[in-house]
Each structure stands twice: as C-alpha cells, then as structure tokens.
Amino acid sequence: MAHYIHFRDPTSMEIEKQLEGIPKCPGTCFFIDVINSTDIKYKSELKDWGKRLNNTFNFISFLNDLPENVVKGIGDELMLYIPDEDLFSKTAYNNYFGLIGEIHATIENLVNFPLEDTFLQCKVSIHYCTEVYNITFFENANDYYGMDIDLTARLMSKAKANRIVMSEKFFTKVKNDMIDNNIRIENTSLADLSGVYMEDFKGVPWPTEYRYIDVKEM
Amino acid sequence: MEITLNKSGDTNVVCIEGRLDTTNYGELEAQLTGLTDKNEKIILMDLSKMEYISSSGLRILLIFLKKLKAVEGRFMLCGMSAEIRDIFEISGFVNIFEIFDDKEAALNS
C-alpha cells in the first residue's frame, strides 16, 4: 500500500518529516507501450482498437501473474512495478531471469499470434530500481516515484516495435540469476541480446548503460 | 515437470505433468524437436496433469503448432483443467489449436 502524502499547507514542515521517514522500495519497473497506437485509432473504430488493447493488456498482465503489479495505464502505455519482495514470492517465476524470460515470451507470442487483428505490437523498457518510493499524492491510488522510475521511462526512447530495452543494472540482476542457476545465455531467449550501449538521457546526470533484444518472428 | 511420450497409431501423445514455465520449457522443446526431427507429423499434448503454463510454455506450443502446420501435420491439445483452459482463453490460444476434452476424443478425431 502506497504512503499517502497530502498536506494542505504548502509551507508545512510536517510533510518533510513524513517524506524523510518513507523507506525505499527496490524492485523492477517496466513500461510497455503499444506501437502505432495513435495511427490505429485513425484507421479503425473503438470496437476494433479497444478490443485489441483489451486483449493485449490481458495477455501482458494476467498471463504473467502481474495484475497486482500494474501501477497505471497512461494512454496506451502500461507502467508495472514489481517490488523485490513481491517478485521473490511469485509462483510463476521468482527471480529476474524468470521475469525477463516471461516478458520476452509474451512479446514473442504477440508478434507470432496467427490470427490478424487480435493483439497489438509492443515495445518494452525495463530497469532495476533502487531509488524509488511507494508514495502517492492522491487518495486510494498506488504509485511509485523516484529517479529510477524516470530513467525507466527514458529508456523507452531507445525501443521500437517488438524490442525490449533493459538497463545494464537490470541485466546484471538477470546475469547473476543465470550464474546462480548454471544457465548459459546462449541456451536462453536472451541469446541474441545486444552488446552494451551508453547514452545520456535527458535529466539524468550521468550516462546510462543499456542493452536490447529484438523479438523475432518464428 | 515430467514429460511422458507414447505413440498411438500415427499420433505421438505427449503428457505433461506439473508446471510448464521459464525454468523448464527447454525440456519440452527438446522432446518435441526430437519428434519433428524424425518427421513425426501428428502430436497430441495431453494436458490433463498440467498444473500451470506460463507465457514461455505457450510460446513452445505456438512454435510447434506453426512447425506442424507448415508440413500439413496436426498439433492437438486435450484434457485441460478449468484453470489451464482459462489461460488458453485469455491468450486467445483456444482459437488457434485443435482442442479436445480428452485423449480418446482426440485420437478418434
């Protein structure tokens, strides 16, 4: 449950005290954005694009044991956040390697689904967050704030259709899981993962390392 | 997960017991590849003992559906519990596979 922050007095000292007491909430953030979402609204009717959005969001959230982790939909983009304690207690997967494996499989299933006009293609950005707080400024809402959330959103600028962009910080977590479980990357869905790139993202005061993988047609 | 292979006429019956997810989909992929490498064209997946299937598991089924369709073969599913069927419905996979209530119905089809 998010810490609800609400003070009527803009000069209140109490708000600073309350904010200082809020713990960090490390975990994995990802954004999933629908490709050409504006385009399809001009080319089809609500009954068509609404259905495909419904199908796509269901596929992403329910089939990956993630409905509780959907923070919000922002237009045609989903923000999901999985606190570490939540990830480690999931039954469908319980580590970072399992998580990226299922996300990759999801995008691959969407790309290769044989019936046309059922799903929409997506792009994904993923980052492992340490500078993040489970707070909200709106009653009964859930949200996460912090510079790592902003960085996850910035990573999306390097994504395109059927591409998963992940920060090196997240990939390090995945790599550690593979080492712990004696898994070789060439035997996984990450076999075609790119080399590491470095980019200065707007507002981020230091360069960010990232990798990507393009999900292919079967 | 345990995988059991049996043959009934021309049909290869592959029974999956337990969970099919990102930790073990490679085992199923290897078994199914073994069959298609031998030019087997009819595969029936018996899911009556399946407890859970994740996106990784669905991906493997989709790969082999496409492989067998390309050679005019059949890739059938049977014996789904209500929970497994729910996953297939949400994913839309009920619309792309031949699905039967049980093994007998599939073998007689």
- CATH number assigned to the domain comprising residue A105: 3.30.70.1230
Contact between A126 and A167 (Cβ < 8 Å): yes
Which amino acid type is present at position A197?
A: Y
Three-state secondary-structure class, residue B62: helix
A chain contacts of residue B56, beta-carbon cutoff 8 Å: 101-102, 105, 189
When scoring B25, B59, B94, B98 by the number of chain A Cβ atoms within 10 A, the one with the most, hence best to mutate, is B59
**What pLDDT does A62 receive?**
79
Q: What is the DSSP letter of B94?
A: G
**What pLDDT does A119 receive?**
94
Of B59, B65, B95, the CB nearest to A105: B59
Residue A70 lies in a domain: yes
Q: A209 - beta bridge partners?
A: A198
- CATH number assigned to the domain comprising residue B100: 3.30.750.24
Cβ–Cβ below 8 Å for A64 and B54: yes
pTM of the entire predicted model:
0.93
Total domain count for chain B? Answer: 1
Structural domain harbouring B60: 2-107
Q: Establish if A102 touches chain B: CB-CB under 8 angstroms.
A: yes
pLDDT digits (tens, 9 = 90+) for B47-75: 999 999 999 999 999 999 999 999 999 99
Chain B: nearest CA to A67, how far in angstroms?
13
Kindly report the length of chain B: 109
Residue A1 lies in a domain: no
In A, minimum Cα distance to B69 occurs at: A114
Q: Residue A203's Cα: distance from chain center in Å?
A: 20
Contact between B75 and A122 (Cβ < 8 Å): no
Structural domain harbouring A81: 24-214
Strands A163-167, A208-214: parallel, antiparallel or unpaired by DSSP?
A: antiparallel
**What pLDDT does A36 receive?**
86
Residue A6 lies in a domain: no
Give CA separation, A101 vs A189, B92, B105, in Å.
Answer: 7, 20, 34
Residues 6+ apart with CB under 8 A from B24: B1
Total domain count for chain A? Answer: 1
Residue A3 lies in a domain: no
Contact between B7 and B32 (Cβ < 8 Å): no
Q: Establish if A58 touches chain B: CB-CB under 8 angstroms.
A: yes
Residue A189 lies in a domain: yes
What is the predicted ipTM? 0.92
Q: Which two tokens stand for residue A211?
A: 């990798």
Residue A41 lies in a domain: yes
Q: Establish if A174 touches chain B: CB-CB under 8 angstroms.
A: no
- When pLDDT is averaged across residues B76-82 and rounded to a whole number, the result is 97
Size of interface A-B (CB pairs under 8 A): 65
B chain contacts of residue A177, beta-carbon cutoff 8 Å: none
Strands (E) across B21-79 are located at 42-53, 74-78
Per-residue pLDDT of chain A (218 residues; tens, 9 = 90+): 899 999 999 998 999 999 999 999 999 999 999 998 888 889 899 999 999 999 999 999 877 778 889 999 988 999 999 999 999 998 888 999 999 999 999 999 999 999 999 999 999 999 999 999 999 999 999 999 999 999 999 999 999 999 999 999 999 999 999 999 999 999 888 999 999 999 999 999 999 999 999 999 88
Number of Cβ within 10 Å of residue A184's Cβ equals 9
In B, minimum Cα distance to A177 occurs at: B23
Q: How many Å apart are CA A172 and CA A96, to the nearest integer?
A: 9
